[in-house]
Amino acid sequence: MRIRPRRSLLAATVAAATAALTLLATTPAQAALPTPVSASTARAYLASLTVATEHSRTGYSRDLFPHWITISGSCDTRETILKRDGSGVTTDSSCAATSGSWYSPYDGATWSAASDVDIDHLTPLAEAWDSGAYNWTTTKRQSLANDLTRPQLLAVTDNVNQSKGDQDPGTWWPSRTAYRCTYARAWVQVKHHYAMTVDTAEKNALSSVLNGC
């Protein structure tokens, strides 16, 4: 049996370690959105949602959806998501992120300043209002606005979140096509859980993406 020289073993070990470190250095932090339901479940959920014309925006205010409530200690919902979705996040005594790295799955950008990151309500609060939340209790609206259990909150590039605004999938999708299946599954899961309605254009767009997942 041929015995491998010790020097060759050492060289191979060093090469493997170097490759692993290189992979870690070049792989962006991945956002930690709770895993949405499967595409097949999302299709079933979508089929069960009531299709209706969106309600009037009259009377809507973000203040009707209490958000960024205290989650633990001095940490509110935004700060909790920043820590959840970031890599190497450090915070000060008030729980504000002072350093870290955030990968935005909507556009593939990575940011090193928390000020460049927004926490997106995947189903926007105004869209929720249009889809039934106008008739909810304040408690239920607060649950949606701070939901850490379902795939409703995600750290993303701030100007991408702002360009999305209150749009639903009938008019807006993440620019990274690789993320659209995840986005559709998450959107439908949230709407199903909260028994929200969908409009026709929204349902058609979601069906088109989910059918290809």
Query: What is the average pLDDT score of the chain?
Result: 89
186 sits in which H/E element = helix 180-193
pLDDT number for residue 12 = 37
pLDDT number for residue 32 = 78
d(CA 21, CA 18): 5
- Which neighbouring-strand residues pair with 75? 72
Query: How far from the centroid of its chain's Cα atoms is residue 172's Cα?
Result: 15
Q: Per-residue pLDDT tens for 37-85?
A: 999 999 999 999 999 999 999 999 999 999 999 999 999 999 999 999 9
Tokens of 130: 């249009």
pTM of the full predicted structure? Answer: 0.85
d(CA 124, CA 94): 27
- The DSSP secondary-structure symbol of 73 reads T
Q: What is the dihedral of CA 47, 123, 82, 22, to 10 degrees?
A: 50
Residues of the chain falling short of pLDDT 70: 1-31
d(CA 198, CA 195): 10
pLDDT number for residue 186 = 98
pLDDT number for residue 15 = 39
Q: How far is CA 6 from CA 3, 9, 20, 196, 213, in A?
A: 9, 5, 21, 65, 49
Q: How far is CA 149 from CA 41, 171, 195, in A?
A: 17, 26, 16
Q: How many CB atoms lie within 10 A of CB 66?
A: 14
pLDDT number for residue 31 = 54
